[in-house]
Each structure stands twice: as C-alpha cells, then as structure tokens.
Amino acid sequence: MRKTLPLPLLLILLLAACRPDVANLDSPGRTIVCLGDSITAGVGSGPGQSYPDLLAARLGTEVINAGVSGETAAEGFARVDQVLAENPWLVIVELGGNDLLRRVPPEQTELALRGILDRLVAARVVPVLVELDAPFGGRYLEIYERLGDEYGIPVVEDAIGEILRDRELKSDSIHPNAEGQKVLAEAIAEEIEPLIKARRKA
C-alpha cells in the first residue's frame, strides 16, 4: 500500500520546494545596491528612469544606484568596499559590457567578476548577476552562466540582449532608453522578488 506523508510534514516540504535555494538570505544587511556601468547609471534615459529607480518604485524600498559610466568589471571590483559600506543584503552586478567594448580578455573579466562575488558572498550578501548576452559577445556569454552555476546565484538572462537587438529600446547603439530600462527592471524584479519574499519568511 502507498503511504502518505503527514500533512504538517508535507506542507513543510512544499514550502521548502518553493523557497529559492540561495545562500545569505539571512544576511544582516538592510539595503539593495546596484553595482554596474553606464547602463546601471541610467545613461540614455531621463532622471528617475534608470532601472534602479524603477526597481525602487516597484519594490517600495530604497535601491542604491552605484553605477559608473565606462566602468569595467575590474574597476567595479575595486569599488566593492564602497558598495559594502552601504550595508547591502543584496547586490545586483551589471558589468562586462565595457570589457567587451575594450576587448579585455574574457579570462580577466571573469576573474574580476569572481572577485566581486567572492567578496559579496563572504560579507553575507546575496549577489545577482545580470548576463551580458550582447550580440557578438562570444566567450563573454559563457561567463555568466558558469558563475551562476558555480556560486548558486540568480542570473538575469536575455534582458540585455533583448534591449541591444531592438532599436526602439535604445537611445544609441549600446544604451537603453527609458523603455529599455523598463525591460531591464522588469527582468531583474522577476529574479529578486522571490528572494525578497523568501527573506521575509526566513
């Protein structure tokens, strides 16, 4: 005869299955920080139209914009202490586009991103990577999935590529306009909203 699990145990297992399996959800941090380049900074869109601004409005919480135009992954790594000074529990990392434009070897880009992730994880922060699925991205495309798998962290896939392939979502050849920022904000929100809910239940 088939045995059924007691109802309380079944409910516990179902809740565990729905909860994102991401480390550091018990982080003592209090803020959300967006570490990135000109896309994060909002170049190409108007005031209040960057994806960190849109996330803040959607989530009803402060989201700190730590985007610096022109920044490479290595330069972002050099600013991790500044990011940690904001007492984050979650950091969205959007870097690598300028590495591609400047032809930084992908191995160096990956090393810098690993450095960022190592620092964030060690500081009990939840990292979220934004994938650089740019046209002609070549070996850069492989970095984000590999890091997501190895570190067990969420990766926002396809959003950058969708924007870069659609003229109506760009202000120039590489920067999202206001509509493009909305697309990116939506994709990121879909990744982090389950984390926020799981954190509240933890």
Catalytic machinery residues: 38, 172, 175
CB within 8 Å of 163: residues ≥ 6 apart:
169, 170, 176, 180, 183, 184
Q: Give buried/exposed letters for 39-56 (b at 16+ CB in 10 A, else e).
A: bbbbbbbeeebbbbbbbb
- What's the CA gap between 94 and 76, in Å, rounded? 9
For residue 110, how far is the Cα from the chain centroid?
A: 15
- What's the CA gap between 160 and 180, in Å, rounded? 9
- The DSSP secondary-structure symbol of 25 reads T
